[in-house]
């Protein structure tokens, strides 16, 4: 899959679990609004075709709120800088789409990472405890990059069944949006609930696999080993009992997550090995701060 290719469900639409409930994200309650256009009443509204700049504007507007709701930014500048050092080569490997990539370390022990539109990525400190190498951590970041670059959040919102579940303010904003500069903040605010709910619930097996595939072109340009992704997914799958339905933006159930690890392993066997490897110093610093533990908190902790 080339970096320039874009995932499409029908027409192009403009990903992530937070492992927290929607109420704790401040998603309860919406202001009353006037009558809706007729086409919005039955969900017959299309997702706007947003440019990378517009997506980044939406992500910027929502990112700080999501960070605070997820547990807040981890208050250690050295750890934040080390995470950025791991991520920056990955971001540089994706020149298109031209998103305003940003990454933040979250002060939360749940083993998770998530993304908002426009390239806003968060990694929980608990995930680092499960990553046994820089390539494993890079895989989690690249997976979230895939959700953002391939516009998965807006693809999900573009599904007819999901549109019917949107609240009135979101439907009204979509029905009247015309891409004027002053419309973007209102659209972001109206879509806060559905976008963050998607981040809580994940994107479904199909889009999680699409995000998994995104790491191959990124790793080819940065020297990371896909085996790190295989080990990370298998470690995360062990946290979810067979038959468990809860998901995050990295875990799509125990059985499916193991199947995704197998698929990455099979694809990696057909992929030429990278000629160089990252030096690993940034990850070593992070792992010293967040060593592995014998016991881990529940996914919802």
Whether 288 is in a domain gets the answer no
For the segment 120-127, the average pLDDT, to the nearest whole number, is 96
- Report the range of poorest mean pLDDT among 51-60, 82-91, 175-184: 175-184
Instruction: Give Cβ neighbours of residue 193 (< 8 Å, ≥ 6 apart).
Output: 22, 27, 30, 167, 170
pLDDT-based confidence at 163, cuts 50/70/90?
Answer: low
Strand partners, 113: 123
| Six-digit token string for 105 | 């370390």
Instruction: Give the ranges where the chain is alpha helix by DSSP (H).
Output: 38-41, 52-70, 77-92, 125-128, 134-149, 152-157, 160-164, 168-176, 184-190, 192-201, 205-222, 227-237, 254-269, 281-289
Whether 43 is in a domain gets the answer yes
What would the DSSP string read from start to end of 7-57?
--SSS--------S-TGGGT--------PPPHHHHTT--PPP---HHHHHH
Closest CA to 93 of 2, 15, 211: 2
Give me the phi and psi of 263, to 5 degrees please: -65, -40
**What's the maximum distance between 2 C-alpha atoms anywhere in the chain?**
60
pLDDT-based confidence at 164, cuts 50/70/90?
Answer: low
User: pLDDT tens for residues 251-280?
Assistant: 888 889 999 999 999 999 998 877 777 889
Whether 100 is in a domain gets the answer yes
The number of domains in the chain is: 1
Whether 71 is in a domain gets the answer yes
Q: Is the predicted pLDDT of residue 13 greater than 70, yes or no?
A: no
CB 299 within 8 Å of CB 251? yes
Q: Is the predicted pLDDT of residue 63 greater than 50, yes or no?
A: yes
Whether 193 is in a domain gets the answer yes
Closest CA to 34 of 176, 157, 158, 160: 176
- Which residues span the domain enclosing 130? 39-272
Whether 223 is in a domain gets the answer yes
Q: How do beta strands 120-124 and 113-116 pair?
A: antiparallel
Whether 282 is in a domain gets the answer no
**In this prediction, what percent of the chain has a pLDDT beyond 70?**
79
Determine the pLDDT at residue 264. Answer: 97
Rounded to two decimals, the pTM is 0.83
CB 122 within 8 Å of CB 103? yes
Whether 295 is in a domain gets the answer no
How high does pLDDT run on average in the chain?
81
Q: Is the predicted pLDDT of residue 35 greater than 80, yes or no?
A: no
């Amino acid at each position: 899959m080339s970096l320039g290719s874009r995932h499409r469900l029908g027409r192009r639409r403009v990903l992530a679990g937070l492992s927290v409930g929607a109420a704790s994200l401040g998603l309860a309650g919406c202001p009353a609004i006037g009558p809706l256009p007729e086409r919005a009443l039955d969900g017959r509204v299309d997702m706007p075709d947003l440019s990378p700049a517009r997506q980044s504007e939406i992500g910027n507007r929502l990112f700080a709120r999501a960070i605070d709701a997820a547990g807040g930014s981890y208050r250690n500048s050295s750890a934040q800088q080390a995470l950025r050092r791991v991520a920056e080569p990955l971001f540089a490997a994706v020149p298109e789409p031209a998103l305003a990539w940003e990454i933040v370390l979250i002060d939360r022990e749940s083993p998770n990472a998530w993304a908002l539109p426009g390239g806003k990525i968060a990694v929980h400190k608990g995930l680092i405890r499960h990553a046994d190498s820089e390539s494993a951590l890079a895989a989690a970041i690249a997976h979230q990059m895939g959700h953002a670059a391939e516009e998965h959040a807006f693809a999900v919102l573009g599904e007819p069944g999901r549109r019917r579940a949107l609240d009135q303010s979101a439907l009204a904003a979509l029905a009247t949006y015309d891409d004027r500069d002053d419309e973007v903040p209102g659209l972001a605010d109206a879509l806060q609930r559905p976008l963050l709910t998607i981040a809580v619930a994940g994107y479904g097996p199909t889009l999680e696999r699409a995000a998994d595939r995104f790491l191959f072109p990124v790793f080819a340009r940065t020297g990371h080993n896909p085996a790190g992704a295989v080990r990370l997914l298998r470690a995360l799958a062990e946290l979810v009992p067979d038959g468990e339905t809860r998901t995050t933006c990295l875990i799509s159930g125990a059985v499916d997550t193991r199947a995704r690890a197998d698929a990455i392993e099979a694809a990696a066997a057909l992929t030429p090995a990278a000629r160089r490897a990252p030096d690993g110093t940034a990850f070593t610093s992070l792992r010293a701060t967040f060593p592995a533990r014998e016991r881990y908190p529940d996914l919802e902790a």
